[in-house]
Amino acid sequence: MNNIELPAEVPIPTGLALRLGASFAFHPFEYSKVLIQLGHEPLAPRNTKTLLGRPALAYPSVFQYCGHIRKRDGVLGMWRGVTPKMLSLAVQHLAGNKFNEIYPPEPELKEEEEDALTMEERKERFIKITLQAIACKMTCVVVSQPLQVLAIRSMAEFVGGEDKFSGGLTMGLYGGVVSILNENGILGFWSGLIPRMLGEVGILGITASLTFLVNTYLLEDKEMAQYTGHVAGFLAGSLCYPLQVTSTCMTVSRSGLMAGYPPRMPLYTGWLDCLSHLRSQGQLKRGSSLIFRYYTGPQVIVGDRVIPANSSMFKSPLKQ
């Protein structure tokens, strides 16, 4: 992928062009994931069995979810919110480049130069590299958050059928800006910022720290060391995923959209309240698996079938 080069006349860096292309191509899946993170499940779960043979309720996969969106809004409707999403990626790229120009990262070292460093020098170099990367990531998140809010709220309109963030000559950007200002004021453009920033910084910091510790103190094989970062990144992403769900919910909460109010979503007092509620409901991981999605709410097992439980199932038959 790194060897792919665009024609010289294309005024977009190759890396950014590839990211934008991939984001556009896979947007329907990202769109479905956002709706799942918001807890919107328009398709009823079906009875199935787990890999261990236990009866369970399973929601349709992301492919069936995309099919539901296509049936309701058509093919073009599957790309709702793609414009602010791609603009957000472009802004993050530009902000990252500008930050690195002002505060350059540590220069790359050859293998023999790195081996010649003492342990104290390696630690000092690791701290400098990690802090610079974290500062750059925080800058990118803060700058791009308004576009992230526009993108997520545009997708959330699918729940209530609004059109404040969609359509028009500006692809919903102007209408979205006006709606945010009317509903939440200027701070509304940074709704969901804190959990998103904590999640992004957490992934970066945990990945860098685990990679440094394992490669420095556990692994001596240089060939194996190149895979450490990938494994550490996967673990860090899993650990910090609940913050991504929290950020998505807080971005939509009290937004003027049906998806952000009861009965679709409780009225949260803050992101910690949202995180606590999602934890109590066992919903911190919703959207993390897009193929095998099991219903985790209250349920009753009758024979080899699972039935979603609700309050009416426990009412006395004598009560009217």
Predicted pLDDT of residue 312: 54
Residue ranges of alpha helices (H) inside 185-266 are 193-213, 222-225, 228-252
CB 63 within 8 A of CB 293: no
User: pTM score, two decimals?
Assistant: 0.89
d(CA 264, CA 252): 11
Token reading at 262: 């009861």
pLDDT 10s digits, 142-179: 999 999 999 999 999 999 999 888 776 677 899 999 99
Regions of the chain short of the pLDDT cut 50: 1, 320
Token reading at 16: 């950014």
Handedness of CA 273, 276, 281, 282 (dihedral sign): positive
Q: How many other C-beta atoms can be found within 10 angstroms of the C-beta atom of residue 190?
A: 18
Over the range 268-294, which residues count as b (16 or more CB within 10 Å of their CB) and which as e? beebeebbeebeeeebbebbbeeeebe
Handedness of CA 136, 148, 294, 302 (dihedral sign): positive
Token reading at 23: 């984001």
Predicted pLDDT of residue 76: 92
Token reading at 124: 């000092």
CB 181 within 8 A of CB 190: no
For 298-309, the three-class secondary structure string (H helix, E strand, C coil) is CEEEECCEEEEC
Q: Which DSSP state fits 204?
A: H
Predicted pLDDT of residue 172: 80
For 31, the enclosing helix (H) or strand (E) is: helix 27-37
Token reading at 166: 């969609």
CB 193 within 8 A of CB 141: yes
Predicted pLDDT of residue 310: 62
Phi, psi of 300 (to 5 degrees): -125, 130
d(CA 125, CA 160): 51
